[in-house]
Amino acid sequence: MTGYAILIPELLLIVAAAWALFAERLPAGDRGAARVGAALAALAGLLAALGPVGAELFGGALVFDGAARFARTGVALLAAVWLLWTAGRGEGRVREACALGLLTAVGSMLMASSRELITFVVSLELATMPAYVLMGYRKSRIDGLEGALKYFLLSMLTSLVMLYGISFLYGVTGSTRFAELDLSGAGALGLLAVLLTLVGIFAKLSAAPFHYWAPDAYAGAEPWSVAFVSTIPKIAGTAALVNLVRALAPTCPELGLVLIAGAVASMVLGNLAALTQTDIRRMMAYSGVAHAGYLMLGVASLSEAGYSAALLYVLAYAVPSMGIMLLVAEEGTGLEDFAGLSNRRPAVAWGVVVLLASLIGIPPLVGFFGKLSLFSAAVSAGLMPWVALAVVMSVVSAAYYLRIVRSAFFAADGEGRVAGPVSATATIAVAACVLAAIALGVAAGPLLAWMGVGAL
């Protein structure tokens, strides 16, 4: 693909979103819109994976390098998995939710390719504004609307702070292009510009101290909405963080300290807060905070190895996290809802073990290789004390993840529930997450080499 053809994956998702919006007047109806969206998103992911590396559009405002190709492919394929599950198990009318998810995916893919501040901001808002509505999709639920409002208000506030920082970046560098952001001689004003700009990205990643929206928003929203919002935008956010840090780090040596501070706060607060949760949505919200800390530790190494590791790790987080949240949507949101799962749905119970083991970082799953690459890059950069803390926090995370396993295998089902009707498409979607957690771990090295991420 050359020229504007490289945007065909994004255009396919826009077509799918338009189909969903007008689904009631098109063949196959409401659930058909989700199936069409899943098919087009899968095709978009394939085309993004096969696209060229190094192409540019609009004078370098969009650059399709290895990082962009990796993130675009991950976003599109995970969107396909989510849409496939929605086609089989989504509650009530789902066409608007499909359109919102697809538009968020478009913004996420563009954000991963952005190398210019204005383009980045526009893409970021396209990726987040539909997500506000998706989190409050069931308007009859007051707690969902409350969570969506908190998400909206904090996100808008941090976006405004980020825009303020971007105005400083432009003021001290005279350019909005990442490649021309030279902070040499900018002094304290340059550091302030960087801090304010990172606020918006930290909030999108739900990294401390800008994570407070996540637990309430997740706990109030539908689990299948959380499955999307908690994973796909974070892939694009990580790619954007990598691109921005790569541009700023050579002339802003303090940037590494800022990222280390955010990483430590996120890892400690996220893991310790998750220990006390009984609602799996809140547990996964704090878990997401902790995982944001791990990937920021890799970025803090300010090395190409760390940048590549962060991209691999966010996918290693997103795949099992989406699988777990889709199962929460099927079984229930409390730990007690998973009681007896091994008797009702034994294959699903073992799938839960695989997904949670990947989040803990147990080999040979993708989560292990993601953490290994992150920690290796950080050690090479001289961040050994913080790597030791990250390892300890990974052990702590096993305590709350294994509570779900204990409930599924060893807790008696007090309600005597039996397995309900199973949708084939929803089962395929969850199975895809389980298989991806295994396959991406086994083929982590070859995958990175094939995608071109190893030489960003």
Tell me how far apart the alpha carbons of residues 67 and 62 are, in angstroms, rounded to a whole number: 12
Three-state secondary-structure class, residue 116: strand
Sign of the four-CA dihedral 4, 6, 8, 9: negative
Residue 349 phi, psi (nearest 5):
-60, -40
The pair of structure tokens assigned to 45 is 């992911």
| Residue 32 burial (C-beta neighbours within 10 Å; 0-12, 13-18, 19+) | middle
Sign of the four-CA dihedral 346, 348, 354, 358: negative
Residues linked to residue 334 through DSSP beta bridges, in sequence order: 279
Question: 122: number of CA atoms within 13 Å, CB side?
Answer: 10
Name the domain count of the chain. Answer: 1
Q: At what angle do helices 8-21 and 95-113 cross, to 10 degrees?
A: 160
Side chain identity at residue 268, one-letter code: V
Q: Which residues does 212 contact at the CB level (< 8 Å), separation at least 6?
A: 150, 154
**What range defines the domain where residue 225 resides?**
3-455
Tell me how far apart the alpha carbons of residues 107 and 146 are, in angstroms, rounded to a whole number: 24
Tell me how far apart the alpha carbons of residues 102 and 421 are, in angstroms, rounded to a whole number: 28
Residues linked to residue 55 through DSSP beta bridges, in sequence order: 64
Q: Which residue has the tokens 């190398």?
A: 115
Contact, 344 vs 104, CB < 8 A?
no
Q: Which residues does 347 contact at the CB level (< 8 Å), separation at least 6?
A: none
Tell me how far apart the alpha carbons of residues 245 and 301 are, in angstroms, rounded to a whole number: 10
The pair of structure tokens assigned to 160 is 């405004």
Three-state secondary-structure class, residue 64: strand
The pair of structure tokens assigned to 361 is 């970082």
The pair of structure tokens assigned to 181 is 């952001």
Q: At what angle do helices 66-89 and 29-50 cross, to 10 degrees?
A: 160
Question: Which tens digits make up the pLDDT trace of 27-76?
Answer: 767 778 888 899 999 999 999 988 888 788 888 889 988 888 889 999 99
The pair of structure tokens assigned to 243 is 């691109």
Question: Which tens digits make up the pLDDT trace of 174-212?
Answer: 888 988 888 887 788 888 999 999 998 898 898 988 888
pLDDT tens across the length of the chain (456 residues): 667 888 999 999 999 999 888 877 777 677 788 888 999 999 999 999 888 887 888 888 899 888 888 899 999 999 999 999 988 776 667 888 889 999 999 999 999 999 999 999 999 989 988 888 888 877 666 777 777 888 888 888 888 999 999 999 999 988 889 888 888 877 888 889 999 999 988 988 989 888 888 888 888 888 888 899 999 999 999 999 999 999 998 888 888 899 999 999 999 999 999 998 988 999 999 999 999 999 999 999 998 888 888 999 999 999 999 999 999 988 888 888 888 888 888 899 999 999 999 999 998 899 998 899 899 999 998 899 999 999 999 999 999 999 999 998 887 765 556 555 567 788 888 899 999 999 888 877 776 676 554 543
The reported pTM is 0.91
Contact, 236 vs 109, CB < 8 A?
yes
How many Cβ atoms are within 10 Å of 187's Cβ, its own excluded? 10
Tell me how far apart the alpha carbons of residues 216 and 152 are, in angstroms, rounded to a whole number: 12
Q: Which residue has the tokens 């969206």?
A: 37
Side chain identity at residue 391, one-letter code: V
126-131-137 Cα angle (round to 5):
140
Question: Which tens digits make up the pLDDT trace of 345-387?
Answer: 889 999 999 999 999 999 889 999 889 989 999 999 889 999 9
Side chain identity at residue 182, one-letter code: D
DSSP code of residue 18: H
Q: At what angle do helices 346-360 and 366-380 cross, to 10 degrees?
A: 0
Tell me how far apart the alpha carbons of residues 144 and 141 are, in angstroms, rounded to a whole number: 5
The whole-chain average pLDDT of the chain stands at 87
Extended beta strands in 94-176, E state: none
Q: What is the distance, to the nearest Å, from the Cα of residue 136 to the centroid of all Cα atoms in its chain?
A: 19
How many Cβ atoms are within 10 Å of 118's Cβ, its own excluded? 13
